[in-house]
Amino acid sequence: MVSPMARPAKTEQPEYGRFLASLRNAASLSQQQLADIVGVRQATVAAWERSPTPPRGEFLVPLSEALGVTLDELLRSGAKKGARHRGPSSKLEELVDQASK
């Protein structure tokens, strides 16, 4: 839900940013409240929610504690395993794929 005072986003929110915002909302925290807990500015939390990648390592433990999730949950990429494009398949991957068929 967008606050009536909030500016509309100019670009679509990346998957990780949406995920982080959903964790924050599930914890019933505003961006400012989360920023106060973690020790950053509200603008930093807003930037994290517009980012396709997790925050820097030094913020992960305080974030996971504030949001009530494990580090594994916080770092989830949102992509299914192997969904990233990594270039051509290796010979071993091709053999495993053929064997599984």
40-55 tens-digit pLDDT? 999 999 999 998 888 8
HSE-CB at 101 with a 13 A cutoff on CA atoms is 5
CB atoms within 10 A of CB 48: 24
> Mean pLDDT score of the chain, rounded to an integer?
79
Q: Measuring CA to CA, which residue among 53, 101, 50, 95 is closest to residue 74? A: 53
Structure pTM? 0.65
SS3 90: coil
- The set of residues, in sequence order, having a beta carbon less than 8 Å from that of 52 and lying 6+ positions away, is 14, 15, 16, 17
Residues 58-89 pLDDT 10s: 999 999 999 999 888 888 754 333 344 456 66
CA-to-CA distance for 13 and 37, rounded, in angstroms?
A: 23
